[in-house]
Amino acid sequence: MKAFKLTFLISCLALFGCGSGSTKNEKTKNVDEIDTLTDANFKWPAPREYQVVDDFLDGKVADYDDVLKEESLSKIPRDELEEPSDVPKSIDKAILACYRGDYNYANNIFDSLLKEYRKNPIYWNQVGNCFMMRGDDRKALLFYNKARDLKKDYAPPINNIGVIFEKSSFDQKALKSYEQAKKVSSFSLTPVFNLAQIYAKYGFIEEGKQLFESMVRLNSKDQDALHGLAFLQMVLGDYNGAIQLFDRMPSEYYLKPEVGVNLAYTLFLSGNKGKAQDVLSDLKPSKNEDVLAYVSKIRSLIK
């Protein structure tokens, strides 16, 4: 999954809570500062309205060359991402900090940008992404809906709501979200990828295959799309065609258990048991229980 109308009450104009408490001396010292305040101190700056260019990170954030990684930093390993301090725009710093797991740093930046970006759906979508990465899908959903309040046809939060539905096993709702995101943003491939995976999951092989093929036509180096297409070719019994697609991927990609296990199974089905065993022996460990169970099943089959 890739990982893009309720308003949210902001206490003290801060997204993530506001601190309280000060000493008596501090309160006395601040009286003079309060006396100098004027109406200008309480005026909000003009909001930064949505611009398509803001959907793209300004500058290089990592070494990558597949389409899905251009749309979602979740596809890039954390250690390959640039430091937030290395990118120029504050909103980009916050986004990178979230994907690197530095949530406190991201929170501080998001808080500082609230006034400027309060009417910008990009901002609320990215705050939602931060909460989703923390595992707080309920709060993420609030912020995704806030982004949609500001721009109904904005694909990222629509797609991301679909991800939450899919994580919660509401696949039919997820499917509708992905279809809507694809409809309102013909240039975005993340909803296409998610749609293809749902189709494949429920046995709509040809429909999923067509979507993966459309992605590969757009970028022949898109490893995720190549893997999805190779898997469906294997399911259809075209083992040689599937192996040819795997051959177009860099060999280090086979080390990923969710990829290498499908290559190994395809090789086994094509009659190359020895090579299949070699691929399985090189797999990196996985923390995903479903992947571990699948790998274990294939290992027991290819003994």
Q: Which two tokens stand for residue 245?
A: 């697609």
Residue 13 is predicted with a pLDDT of 31
Per-residue pLDDT of 154-172, as tens digits, reads 999 999 999 999 999 999 9
| DSSP one-letter code for 80 | G
Residue 98 is predicted with a pLDDT of 85
Q: At what angle do helices 223-235 and 190-201 cross, to 10 degrees?
A: 20
Cβ atoms 96, 74 nearer than 8 A: no
Per-residue pLDDT of 200-233, as tens digits, reads 999 999 999 999 999 999 888 888 899 999 999 9
Residue 237 is predicted with a pLDDT of 96
Q: Mean pLDDT per segment of 10 residues, for the chain of length 303 residues?
A: 31 31 42 53 60 50 46 55 59 83 90 90 92 92 95 92 93 94 84 92 94 92 92 96 96 93 96 96 91 94 90
Q: How far is CA 12 from CA 20, 111, 117, 259, in A?
A: 10, 10, 16, 47
- Predicted TM-score of the model (pTM): 0.73
- Cα–Cα distance for residue pair 110/15, rounded to 1 Å: 7
Per-residue pLDDT of 60-81, as tens digits, reads 434 444 444 455 555 555 555 5
Residues 6 or more apart whose CB falls under 8 angstroms from that of 151 comprise 50, 121
High-pLDDT (> 70) share of the chain, % = 71
Q: Using the structure block, give the residue that is written with the tokens 């912020």.
A: 143
Residue 21 is predicted with a pLDDT of 42
Residue 240 is predicted with a pLDDT of 96
Residue 264 is predicted with a pLDDT of 96
Residue 100 is predicted with a pLDDT of 83
- Cα–Cα distance for residue pair 13/15, rounded to 1 Å: 7
Q: Using the structure block, give the residue that is written with the tokens 């009450």.
A: 9
- Cα–Cα distance for residue pair 78/27, rounded to 1 Å: 43
